[in-house]
Amino acid sequence: MQRKLVAITSICALVLSGCGLYGNKEFSFFGEHRVNIAGANQMLDPNIETFDDEHLIAILNPSEPKLISGEPLTVIDVERAFQQANNFTPQDAMQNGMQHRNAVQERLILSSQQTCNFYKDYLRRVDAYKGFTLGSLTTALGAAAAIVTGAGAARALGGAAGITSGISAEFDQAFFKSIALHVITPGIDSRRDRVLKQIREQEQSKSISQYNVQAAVRDALVYQNQCTLNAGLEEAAESIKEVRDPGLKTALAAVRQALQLQGAVQTLGASAAVSGPLPDNEMPNVALEEARQLVEAEANSISTRIKALEGRAELKDKIAPIKAAVEKQKSETLAILDGEKDKVAAVTDELTKKGAALALASNDQTHALLTDEVVATRMTAKALSKRLRGIAQHFKAFIQQQDGKLDELEATTKAKPSR
């Protein structure tokens, strides 16, 4: 019995050694070092993935004399290279300095992308090797336990099958938090895509004085730091899918889902009540259109009256300031309303998306959280609609004031005796 336990322990130790048995980090079965079990090998040499002082100075200041002469480099040379990169002025100081900074940052991003690609392939290989090895052992030991005739041997093999299955479950829990790997890797990509978009759309267009080379390198390091297991788990928190073994567990899960159907239907009904569309008078896009129509209508109404009064010679000069004030106020009011278009579109889109997500919420906790978010978004939409209509009403009040001035002018003119 002791020898059996020793053998079982040895098998488990070999399994836990994992991919270390294969040596080359891009090792593949029959892939000729071009592909591996998780996908294609990285296109560029691994040396581009790391930066020593010489490599960093080479991209910051390629004309550094010590690089050409081969003299030893120090941290002082690195700091000087950063300063020279900030003052990169071949022809057009501003434009070329920005281009050089962005090129340095993109070079670091390139290295980060290759490193992260390898990391994701590494996770897939670890998961595949672990699943195949421990799964095969569990199956083989379980089958052997059913075949052998001795009761002691059957118990030992059955226990070993339980051990390997338990190790597999503990491995998943310890490293992947029992989350499917095909959810974690897209989570990493999503997090990095968001950071990269911010860098390219918001930061790279800034001048050197607003966004220097050190800040660009810092953001590249932030981008690199998003390629972690924790980042993938956090990003995928809303779409977590637990790994389930086939067989009895799947059947039991289906039974549980059937028993929970009534509660799910009730939850969807409640979701629909909260996530349904707002009344038209509370939707920001409708309020914006109505506000514009009111401004145009009020402006056209007083413009028609002004045009009629301009035909009277004694009023023409006195009406001119009123006409100019109306045109100016109309232009400014429409500009304010047009400036709200992006916010209106964003709130409307957010309301639609969160309402749809609420209707599909898979558990009570998610449903409660999304309900709060939908309610908050609805309140934002209502407040925005009220403000847009308030802008139009303010313009209407202004037009009424100008109408009053026209009334006074007409009354004064009528009161004067004709000559």
Q: Domain limits of the chain? A: 2-243, 261-415
Which pLDDT belongs to residue 241? 44
Q: Residue 36 forms beta bridges with which residues?
A: 39
Report the alpha-carbon distance of residue 45 to residue 32 in Å, rounded: 16
The predicted model gives 94-104 an average pLDDT of: 78
User: 3-state SS string over 71-138?
Assistant: CCCCHHHHHHHHHHHHCCCCCCHHHHHHHHHHHHHHHHHHHHHHHHHHHHHHHHHHHHHHHHHHHHHH
Inter-CA distances, 405 with 308, 320, 346, 393, 395, Å: 15, 12, 41, 19, 16
The predicted model gives 92-105 an average pLDDT of: 74
Answer whether 42's CB lies under 8 Å from 111's CB. no
Q: What percent of the chain has pLDDT over 70?
A: 67
Token digits of residue 266: 């009730």
pLDDT digits (tens, 9 = 90+) for 152-162: 776 776 677 67
pLDDT digits (tens, 9 = 90+) for 60-93: 888 788 877 888 888 888 888 888 888 876 544 4
Task: Please tell me the pTM assigned to this model.
Answer: 0.44
The 10 Å CB-count burial string (b at 16+, else e) for 20-42 is eeeeeebebeeeeeeebbbeebb
pLDDT digits (tens, 9 = 90+) for 165-198: 677 666 666 565 545 566 778 888 888 999 999 9
* Secondary structure class of 228 (helix, strand, coil): coil
Which pLDDT belongs to residue 367? 65
Token digits of residue 232: 């993938």
Residue 419 pLDDT greater than 70, yes or no: no
Average pLDDT across the chain, whole number: 74
Unique residue bearing structure tokens 């009064």: 309
Report the alpha-carbon distance of residue 412 to residue 407 in Å, rounded: 9
Instruction: State the Rg of the chain over Cα.
Output: 35
pLDDT digits (tens, 9 = 90+) for 212-271: 999 999 999 999 998 888 888 777 665 544 444 444 444 445 445 544 443 443 343 334
Which pLDDT belongs to residue 34? 64
> What topology is assigned to 261-415 in CATH?
Four Helix Bundle (Hemerythrin (Met), subunit A) (1.20.120)
The conformation of residue 242, written as its DSSP 8-state character, comes to: B
Answer whether 111's CB lies under 8 Å from 221's CB. no
